[in-house]
Amino acid sequence: MISGVPLAYASQTMHTQATVLSLVSALGLCACGGGGTNPGSGMRYAYVEPVLNQTHTYSEVVIDNANNTINLGFSVTTTAVSATGASQLSQSTTGDSTIVDGTNYAVLTENQSFNDMGQETSYTYLGAGGSTVTCTFTPHGAGPDWPVQVGGTWQATYAFACDAGTPVTYGQTGTVVDVEAVTVPAGTFTALKLQSTVTWTDANGTMRTQTITNWRDIATSYSVKEEIAIAVSGTLPATGYAVSRTSVLESIS
């Protein structure tokens, strides 16, 4: 989505890349319920596999470059978990398409694959004309290797491409900042606070830098809240684009 995830959408390709960092990178580590552990400075937190058939529903607020506020919603359901901990998730919008200044900000309906660290490896969606588009992360998408602990850092470089498109290289640096209580509509959670920066330049010469703060429930590894600031430079998109995105967990079922 997040981490991902999806990240500002002037075209179908841009829409896909935006979704990857804001939703996938951040929400890729998913499954819920508050944690009650008292964290110690040296405590290590393992990745927790998602719960089969469990659904997490999120609201998201996007601010675009014209200072428009765009309210979105989406849900993520775990559809498969392998013996090794790899998982399959289905993401879908909970609202209608939202087009502002020529950009459709609605969350794509996707079938997502994650490795046993909760890092996204690929996803598919239906493109124009009903054809299936497959997007792949090499070697995998954003996010730390687990276990993690407060004060730990990580770096990641990966390529992202859809079908036969030219791969775009992403770079991420991140830090596990703290463990703190976070209250969202779904409840109060004891969460790891992760801060990271993701940068990339697309084929049009548009450069983006995302500054991401993500809170993940220590009991489940799911994202409960994420805040993203997006700096855009170079060749600016011809249509509107996101400059911030905030998502929170609304419910678990």
Domain ranges across the chain = 12-248
pLDDT at residue 89, rounded to an integer: 86
Q: Is domain 12-248 in CATH 2.40.360, yes or no?
A: yes
The predicted model scores a pTM of 0.85
Phi-psi region of 151 (alpha: psi -120 to 50; beta: other; left: phi over 0): left
pLDDT at residue 106, rounded to an integer: 85
Average confidence (pLDDT) over 106-126: 92
**What are the strands, taking DSSP E only, across the chain?**
55-64, 69-81, 87-93, 99-100, 103-104, 110-114, 120-126, 132-138, 153-162, 168-184, 187-201, 206-217, 223-234, 242-252
> Would you say residue 110 has pLDDT above 60?
yes
pLDDT at residue 94, rounded to an integer: 67
Alpha carbon separation from 228 to 3, 5, 211, 233 (Å, rounded): 10, 11, 6, 16
CA nearest to 160, candidates 9, 64, 24: 24
- Report yes or no: 237 and 10 within 8 Å, Cβ to Cβ: yes
CA dist 247 and 223 (Å) reads 9
